[in-house]
Amino acid sequence: MKAKGNIYPKICEIENIKRAIINASKQKRDRNDVKDIYANIDYYSRKIQEMLINKAYIPSPYLEKKIYDGANKKERIIYKPCFYPDQCIHWALMLQIEDLLKRGMYEYCCASIKGRGIHYGAKYIKKILVRDRKNTKYCLKLDIKKYYPSINKEILKHKFRRIIKCRDTLDLMDLIVDSSKEGLPIGNFTSQWFANFNLQDVDHYIKEELKVPYYIRYMDDMVLFHRNKKELHKIRIKIEDFLKKEDLRIKENWQLFRTDSRPLDFLGYRFYRGYTTLRRGNFLRIKRRLNKISKKQELDVKDAAAVISYRGYLQHANTYNYQQKYVRNTVDIRKCKEVIRNASRKQCKA
């Protein structure tokens, strides 16, 4: 792959910076720190341009927040960057290098990529389980231990230099990567792209060298299918050895099982041959949230959006009875759409 140069002047263009501010401000325009920037977009675009041209940008300290994510309440530290200038500059950079990072990306790398995601991956798994029983007889499920904090910055920077030869752009990328103590900070817009890009070599190794028939990755969660159990064990060992060179380790809780004997729990669903159900934790969480919403006298935008989102999520699984009992009989879908439509009109007028 030929390295690309002359990227930095495009990052510094006023129109690119304006687009970056608009994109970074989506879903945040009611915040006081964003309102002022958005209302004076021309002034702040010029300020960011001067900052970039003069190499005066210094990343602001992150606001750290501890959260407990998912059904397992996994503890994570979220690093929140300042909106101005950090998030705006992250977007200005990504608008110009996103296509470069995607150029060698594996087709079924699904996390944080526009046009892909949970449903894109779920559709692929459903299809292969039905169409090819032979090559999906066994499943290997594994993930990388503390992936974001474990990313080796020097290895990542070396990979950047294989696709980009613009010195100023590389300096900006290095500055953002080095803005955290270890690994990549969960919370940066750039981090999800850099983290996906960091595992591109692993994806190509699994598909091209190990010749795995079916493989899907959602950030650091990997699922591999094969017709031979012993071969999958060998593949796991080879992946572990490959990741050691990347200074990464596989979690000890990897699983290898026969797909006909138990479902694949992945992407929030449980995949069987021919049908799909919800993960139990998601089943209960949606049910409880819908019950709370139904007891409210007035439906707000946040609750209406949650209902529509849940409905879309449920439609990708065999959940007809569940929807009849807990969605249609609990909340009025038409009313939810009306609330969202009215809120959207108000925002457009504003």
Please give the C-alpha separations between residue 144 and each of 53, 59, 249, in angstroms, as whole numbers. Answer: 38, 28, 6
Using DSSP's 3-state secondary structure scheme, residue 135 falls into coil
Query: Contact at 8 Å (CB) between 18 and 92?
Result: no
Residue 184's nearest CA partner among 156, 149, 220 is: 149
Tens of pLDDT, residues 121-155: 999 999 999 999 999 999 999 999 999 999 999 99
Tens of pLDDT, residues 167-181: 999 999 999 999 988
Averaged confidence pLDDT in the chain:
91
Q: How is residue 253 written in tokens?
A: 């809780």
Tens of pLDDT, residues 196-240: 999 999 999 999 999 999 999 999 999 999 999 999 999 999 999
CB neighbour burial string for 126-165, b if at least 16 within 10 angstroms, e if fewer = bebbeeeeeebbbbbbbbbeebbebbebeebeebbeebbe
Residue 251 contacts by C-beta under 8 Å, 6 or more apart in sequence? Answer: 142, 143, 144, 145
Using DSSP's 3-state secondary structure scheme, residue 255 falls into strand
Q: How is residue 80 written in tokens?
A: 């929140």
CA atoms within a 13 Å half-sphere pointing along the CA-CB vector of 143: 11
Whether pLDDT at 337 is above 60 = yes
Tens of pLDDT, residues 283-292: 888 989 988 8
- pLDDT on residue 31: 87
- pLDDT on residue 49: 97
Taking the whole predicted model, whether its pTM rises above 0.85 is answered as yes
> CA 199 to CA 25: how far, in whole Å?
29
- The pLDDT confidence band at residue 296, using thresholds 50, 70 and 90, is confident
